Every structure is written in C-alpha cells, then in structure tokens.
C-alpha cells in the first residue's frame, strides 16, 4: 500500500480543465487609418494633398453579438469568439472651386458615415492572473479574420457660394449607397484584459479588447458611379477598434451537483 500512488481529488481535476459555452455582446469604436491616400481627381495646378479626406477617430459607436467557446486548462484558455459586428467611422472632404476674382469661390463639403458589417472570427489565448475564487482577472492576446457581410455609405452634401459677397449655404441632400464591392476581408491582431465573475453555474465575462488590422479592409480602385462626380474613392484603409463586451457562459463538464462554478 505504501507504493500506491495517491488518487487525485476529482474536484481539482474538475477545476483544472473545463469547457465553457455562451453568448457575448458589446459595443465598439473604430478608427480608420489611411495607409495610402486616393482621390478620383487628378490635380493640374495644385497639390493632391488638398483633396485628402479628414478622418474622425473613434467617433461613432458600433455593436457586436456572438458566441464564446472556451477551453480552460490550469490558468490558460483557448477561446473562439465568432461574432456579427457592425463598425462605423466617418470622414469629410472639402472641395473648392475658385474663379479669376478672389470673391468668386464655391465650396462643396461631403460628410461621410461608413457602416461596415462583418463576421468576425477571433481566436484568443487567455491567462487567468488569479486562478481561484469567484473573481478572476485575465489578460488575452490573439488574432482575427473578418469576412465582409455588407457595407453602406451615407453621404451628406453641403454647398457654400461666396460669389455674392456673403456666404450662401445650401444643402445638396443626403444619399445612401451600398458599397460592399469597395471592401474586402481582412485580418489582424488583438489583445485585451478582462475579468470572470463566477456564481452558481454561470460565469459572467467582462472584456476590453483592442484590435488592429494588418491587411487593408478596402478595395481602393473600386469607385461608385454615384460618387464619381465629387471624386469619392476609398483610401487604402486599415481598421483599429476598441470594443467592450459582456458575456454569459456555462460549464460543460459536471462531476456532481455539489461542484458549482464557484
């Protein structure tokens, strides 16, 4: 009997390895980072820099909802988190026409909101900083691939005429266009922090995540006919976003009713 190996406590085995499955949802804010600038116009007597778009960083909220599938073993987790995600960002472009006299000037401003719906497929590795108790903070790192589901562009046009001496502003209307063909699937890296809260047989997961695409999300050479009149063509854009998510997951492995998630 002295030579017999001790039997491992089944509770320890239960806590060492576990499968979790559940739902997650949240909000995100996106930054569109232009790597290469493009325009539909070819300037002759002025610099093309004056035609560059002005982007607003992390200005519009988006949303995501999906699943979390988590395999945990001794502090480390492999987490697959497919979600349907809507990202939004905006930019503007100001075009100016001047006559021979200084007062003969006409401006057109285009304010654009871009909405991008993707099926995002992230794979994350998590590490629990504290591996016991009901509250377990963690860090995570991984990568993702996003498939384009749809894309829409809202364009608001504002015109200002200075020829009469006083600025005369008028609205050129707002148009909404489907621009899915102007985008392509993209991939990137991700990292973040979070905390698990265990009670009964439910785990609540709160995460803050930063994602950065390593490939362009746009097809720069694709131009919509409806937008050709004001030279609207996509820059080569890389996307960065900050997302906050809340999830509820449930364990798959049970030994006995006495073993709760806590």
191, exposed or middle or buried, with CB in 10 Å at 0-12, 13-18, 19+? middle
Residue 204 maps to which CATH number? 2.40.160.20
Tens of pLDDT, residue by residue over 233-253, are: 788 999 999 999 999 999 886
Query: Residue 32: left if φ>0, alpha if ψ -120 to 50, beta else—which one?
Result: beta
CA distance 113 to 154: 5
DSSP calls for 35-64? EE---S---SSS-GGGG--EEETT-SEEEE
42 has a pLDDT exceeding 90: no
CA distance 120 to 14: 31
59 has a pLDDT exceeding 50: yes
Q: Confirm whether 97 is domain-assigned.
A: no
Structure token digits, residue 246: 């809340």
Q: Confirm whether 61 is domain-assigned.
A: yes
**Pairing state of beta strands 186-199 and 135-161?**
antiparallel
Phi, psi values for residue 207, rounded to 5°: -130, 145
Global pTM?
0.82
Q: Confirm whether 167 is domain-assigned.
A: no
Q: Confirm whether 54 is domain-assigned.
A: yes
Tens of pLDDT, residue by residue over 156-215, are: 988 888 777 777 778 878 888 888 988 999 999 999 999 999 888 889 999 999 999 999
Structure token digits, residue 244: 């906050």
Residue span of the structural domain in which 185 resides: 10-89+119-151+179-251
Question: What's residue 262's pLDDT?
Answer: 45
Q: Confirm whether 229 is domain-assigned.
A: yes
């Amino acid at each position: 009997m002295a030579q017999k190996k001790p039997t491992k406590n089944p509770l320890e085995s239960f806590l060492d390895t576990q499968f979790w499955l559940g739902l997650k949802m949240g909000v995100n804010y996106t930054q569109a980072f232009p790597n290469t600038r493009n325009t539909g116009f070819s300037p002759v007597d002025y610099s093309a820099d004056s035609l560059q778009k002005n982007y607003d960083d992390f200005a519009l909220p988006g949303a995501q909802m999906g699943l979390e599938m988590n395999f945990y073993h001794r502090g480390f987790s492999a987490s697959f988190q497919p979600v349907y995600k809507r990202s939004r960002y905006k930019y503007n472009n100001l075009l100016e026409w001047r006559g021979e006299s200084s007062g003969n000037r006409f401006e057109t401003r285009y304010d654009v909101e871009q909405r991008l719906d993707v099926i995002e497929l992230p794979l994350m590795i998590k590490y629990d900083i504290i591996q016991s108790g009901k509250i377990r903070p963690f860090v995570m790192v991984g990568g993702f691939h996003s498939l384009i589901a749809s894309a829409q562009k809202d364009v608001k046009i504002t015109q200002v005429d200075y020829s009469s001496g006083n600025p005369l502003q008028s609205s050129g209307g707002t148009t909404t266009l489907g621009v899915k063909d102007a985008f392509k699937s993209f991939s990137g890296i991700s990292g973040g922090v979070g905390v698990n809260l265990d009670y009964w047989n439910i785990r609540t997961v709160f995460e803050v995540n930063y994602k950065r695409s390593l490939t362009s999300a746009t097809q720069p050479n694709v131009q919509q006919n409806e937008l050709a009149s004001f030279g609207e063509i996509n820059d080569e854009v890389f996307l960065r976003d900050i997302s906050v998510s809340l999830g509820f997951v449930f364990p798959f492995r049970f030994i006995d009713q006495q073993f709760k998630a806590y």
